[in-house]
């Protein structure tokens, strides 16, 4: 399916691995020129070359921490007038809420609440002036289904969701949309780390932990970064102009809800 965004300029934050990379691949397949971002410059450069050679699009690799002012400035210097912004960032590590001190809480809120808002502030008016903008925030299933130990991540991302619900409506008539994609359990390095910890705690193999997690999901499997990326890319397409302020839950049916 032609998404109608060939030649559009897209910034995809934290896109050297996992769901961010899956989204970058899908946008590159749709013909978008990319700015990708990560902290490991050498690895990021390798990913950029792979995307260029596979999809034939322009790819700029910006090694930076997207939560810092300098990191944001470097990304926007590479693409000052993006048509598409995909906000993504690492979340705080799993930890009992009683162990969180002020410094940890402020860091988590900065990563998953303040940072995406800052990037939206710096890009959305330009999108509106040009008459096209797609903003997609990669949040988490924990926004609607709290997960023990991820309270800080859940709270920060839920705050972002509420904050942007009103902002999305302010720009809907300018062909600028803001939506959130809420991943459940996907086969990424982040989830692999969880399986490794579970393996150490239970004595089960990593593969056994992975199989057990999959069996809890009605689909009986983990999601893939590729299918996540395609869903996110559709929200960036010309056909998604009537979708805004929404939360797309991708979890294989894990969250049991009719609405």
122: Cβ contacts below 8 Å, ≥ 6 apart:
72, 76
- The span from the CA of 164 to the CA of 41, in Å, is 31
Taking a C-beta distance cutoff of 8 angstroms, is the pair 86, 179 a contact? Answer: no
Q: Is 56 left (phi over 0), alpha (psi -120 to 50) or beta?
A: left
pLDDT at 113: 98
pLDDT band at 133 (very low <50, low <70, confident <90, very high): very high
Domains observed in the chain: 9-185+224-250 (3.40.50.720), 187-222 (no CATH)
| Residue-wise burial string across 48-86, b where 16 or more C-beta atoms lie within 10 A, e elsewhere | beebeeebebbbbbbbbbbbeeebbebbbebbeebbbbb
The residue ranking higher by pLDDT, 199 or 157, is 157
pLDDT at 215: 95
pLDDT tens column, 78-130? 999 999 999 999 888 888 999 999 999 999 999 999 999 999 999 999 999 99
pLDDT at 83: 98
pTM of the model: 0.95
pLDDT at 162: 98
Per-residue pLDDT averaged across 17-34, rounded? 98
Residue 5 has pLDDT above 90, yes or no: yes
Taking a C-beta distance cutoff of 8 angstroms, is the pair 259, 223 a contact? Answer: no
- CA dihedral of 143, 144, 147, 149, whole degrees rounded to 10: 30
Per-residue pLDDT averaged across 61-66, rounded? 97
Angle between helix axes 18-29 and 225-235 (nearest 10 degrees) is 60
Strands 176-183 and 59-63, how do they pair?
A: unpaired
Residue 148 has pLDDT above 90, yes or no: no
Per-residue pLDDT averaged across 129-141, rounded? 98
pLDDT band at 224 (very low <50, low <70, confident <90, very high): very high
pLDDT tens column, 184-195? 999 998 888 778
- The span from the CA of 2 to the CA of 30, in Å, is 7
Residue 200 has pLDDT above 90, yes or no: no
Residue 137 has pLDDT above 90, yes or no: yes
């Amino acid at each position: 399916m032609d998404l109608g965004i060939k030649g559009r300029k897209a910034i995809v934050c934290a896109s050297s691995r996992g769901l961010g990379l899956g989204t970058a691949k899908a946008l590159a397949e749709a013909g978008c020129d990319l700015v990708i971002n990560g902290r490991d410059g050498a690895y990021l450069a390798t990913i950029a070359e792979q995307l260029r050679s596979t999809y034939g699009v322009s790819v700029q690799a910006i090694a930076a921490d997207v939560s810092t002012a300098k990191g944001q400035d470097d990304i926007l210097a590479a693409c000052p007038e993006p048509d598409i912004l995909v906000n993504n960032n690492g979340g705080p590590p799993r930890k009992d809420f009683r162990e969180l001190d002020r410094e940890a809480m402020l860091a988590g809120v900065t990563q998953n609440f303040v940072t995406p808002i800052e990037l939206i502030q710096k890009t959305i008016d330009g999108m509106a002036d040009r008459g096209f903008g797609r903003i997609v925030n990669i949040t988490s299933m924990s926004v609607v289904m709290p997960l023990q130990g991820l309270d800080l991540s859940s709270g920060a991302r839920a705050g972002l969701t509420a904050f942007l619900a009103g902002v999305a409506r302010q720009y809907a008539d300018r062909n600028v949309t803001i939506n959130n994609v809420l991943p459940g359990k996907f086969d990424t390095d982040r989830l692999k780390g969880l399986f490794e910890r579970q393996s150490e705690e239970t004595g089960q193999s990593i593969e056994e932990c992975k199989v057990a997690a999959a069996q809890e999901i009605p689909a009986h499997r983990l999601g893939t970064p590729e299918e996540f990326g395609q869903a996110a890319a559709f929200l960036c397409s010309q056909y998604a102009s009537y979708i805004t302020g929404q939360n797309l839950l991708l979890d294989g049916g894990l969250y049991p809800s009719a609405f």
